[in-house]
Structure 1
Amino acid sequence: MWLLKLTLAVAGLYAAVVTVVYVLQSWLIFPAGLAAFGPDLPAGARHVELATEDGERVVLVRLPARQTPAAPRPLLLGFAGNAWNADALALMLHQLFPEHQVTALHYRGYAPSSGSPSATALFEDARRAHDHLATDAKAGIVAIGLSVGAAVAVDLATARPLRGIVMVTPFDSLRELAAHHYPWLPVRLLLRHRMEAAGSLRDLDVPTAVITAENDTIVPAARSAPLREAARDLRSHIAIAAGHNDLYGHPDFAGALRASVAAVTRD
């Protein structure tokens, strides 16, 4: 009898954990509160509000080029990681690429954007941002996606013309990544948010560059390699001896990102 009671107790506890994870998955994947505070932006920066079809508003941060280029340069459209503030991403790109216009999207549900984040919402809002920017991008648009943002960049390329995609610590499939981290949970059945970047990339001929972190425990090599294999036009892959989060402070990162943008914009 005691064994039956123990089995039922364990089963009940497991069911409770599964229920909690299912309910909280949006917060676990999109922890908007962690990205609430951004840096001060330089003069010339502006925030542009875009209205969604369901009455929400998403905000783009835009920064003009700091230097006048000899020839038109592609506009850089940034999609941040799930705990990044878009202003911080825009400022980083602005500092690394002085001859480019830079913009980044505050995901839905990430202040100052309104609403609730989801994979579908991020994909839709990226297209909305592209459409707003397209007339200003005489030399095209390069999408730069960090981690979750890489999946947003790939999805955008399925629906809109891009000059290129640069992906930093990307994963092939959110479903497979979640299964890697939670092998004791039926995440493939529970996951409501679908981001299947490798599957989408296989059908694209867009110039692609990838930067990975060799010591990444959040997006391990087994989850980034299939994405590179799926790319039809892989122009560059740079691996840096860093982790997922300390990659951006590594002395090789700035040069790797500049080289990646150059690779996807090279004719």
Structure 2
Amino acid sequence: MHAVAAAGPLPPGAERLQVKTPDGEVLHGVFFPGPAQTDAPKTLVLGFGGNAWNGQDVGSYLHELYPDVDVVAFHYRGYWPSTGKPSAEALLADAPLVYDATIAKVRPERTIAVGFSIGSGVAASLANRRRVDGLILITPFDSLKAVASSLYPWFPVGPFFKHEINSVEGLRGSAVPVAIVAGERDEIIPAERTSALRNGVPNLVFDRTITRAGHNDIYTRSEFQAAMDEAFEAVLHR
């Protein structure tokens, strides 16, 4: 089981979700509904967190950012309370299952996938397999293997990554509008890996690098909050 911070009680109105995988694992998620009455098209934000995030925190954060839409996020396989063993293969395989169950429940008119760090690769892959109306990728990368090779150039990392997460391949030929928000001083995702993704996105509609922000402290910056609002509007109206 992958250790992440424990999730607390849900706020009023939120709901716990479950999805059973074909191999018998159970994925746990959270649903934060938007306003019941609105004239705007029903919009869903589907969140995919980073390595140390639990799904409830992802959902809570996105619900605070975008209170006028429905928000759903799941704990990855092997991230408590979801069962199973985490792997790159599992992240990619489970995303369409989560999507299908969420769409059946929420029945949105528009779906925006938001991916943080490693979750950006999951979101990009999902957009190649399911209908997604927009992608917002935070501190993203082109290739998980390339990130590892950049961080540890002396280590023959390739053979140890049985399953790749390749965001460029996931978006190749895609017309989905994509927004990228990166940190200027990201110490985890090298700038060249984000640049490689940027250059490989067919429909990049928003691109913002937060000055002096690192991989983790980017979320504390007021410029980041503003960028997330702008990114949402950019992908929604392209």
TM-score by length of 1: 0.85
| Partner-residue secondary structure (3-state), 1:90 | helix
Equivalent position of 1:263 in the other structure: 234
Given that residues 198 and 230 in structure 1 are in contact (C-alpha distance below 8 angstroms), is that contact kept between their aligned partners in structure 2?
yes
Equivalent position of 1:235 in the other structure: 205
Which ranges of 4 or more aligned residues in structure 1 deviate by more than 6 Å? none
Q: Is 1:185 aligned to residue 155 of structure 2?
A: yes
Equivalent position of 1:9 in the other structure: none
| Partner-residue secondary structure (3-state), 1:32 | coil
Aligned with 2:100 (options 128, 131, 135): 131
Given that residues 214 and 239 in structure 1 are in contact (C-alpha distance below 8 angstroms), is that contact kept between their aligned partners in structure 2?
yes
1:254, 1:40 → 2: CA distance? 25
Given that residues 31 and 59 in structure 2 are in contact (C-alpha distance below 8 angstroms), is that contact kept between their aligned partners in structure 1?
yes
1:124, 1:255 → 2: CA distance? 32
1:139, 1:39 → 2: CA distance? 30
Residue deviations 1:166-208 (CA, integer Å, cap 9, x gap): 0000011000100011111100122223111112212211110
Equivalent position of 1:99 in the other structure: 68
| Partner-residue secondary structure (3-state), 2:222 | coil
| Cα drift, residue 67 of structure 1 | 6.8
2:73, 2:159 → 1: CA distance? 32
Given that residues 41 and 110 in structure 2 are in contact (C-alpha distance below 8 angstroms), is that contact kept between their aligned partners in structure 1?
no
Structure showing the higher helix proportion among its residues = 1
Aligned with 2:38 (options 58, 64, 69): 69
Identity of aligned residues (%): 39
1:224, 1:181 → 2: CA distance? 14
| Partner-residue secondary structure (3-state), 2:31 | strand
Aligned with 2:219 (options 248, 260, 266): 248
What 5-or-longer segments of structure 2 have no aligned partner? none
Q: Which moved more, 1:60-69 or 1:159-168?
A: 60-69
2:69, 2:15 → 1: CA distance? 15
2:43, 2:199 → 1: CA distance? 26
Residue deviations 1:134-193 (CA, integer Å, cap 9, x gap): 232332211000010000001101110101110000011000100011111100122223
| Cα drift, residue 123 of structure 1 | 1.2
Equivalent position of 1:211 in the other structure: 181
Given that residues 6 and 54 in structure 2 are in contact (C-alpha distance below 8 angstroms), is that contact kept between their aligned partners in structure 1?
yes
| Partner-residue secondary structure (3-state), 1:247 | helix
Which residue identity is paired with 1:146?
F
Residue deviations 1:93-135 (CA, integer Å, cap 9, x gap): 1111111000001100001100001111111211001111223
What 5-or-longer segments of structure 1 have no aligned partner? 1-30
Q: Over the residues paired in the alignment, what is the CA RMSD in angstroms? A: 1.4
1:92, 1:68 → 2: CA distance? 22
Equivalent position of 1:26 in the other structure: none
| Partner-residue secondary structure (3-state), 1:116 | coil
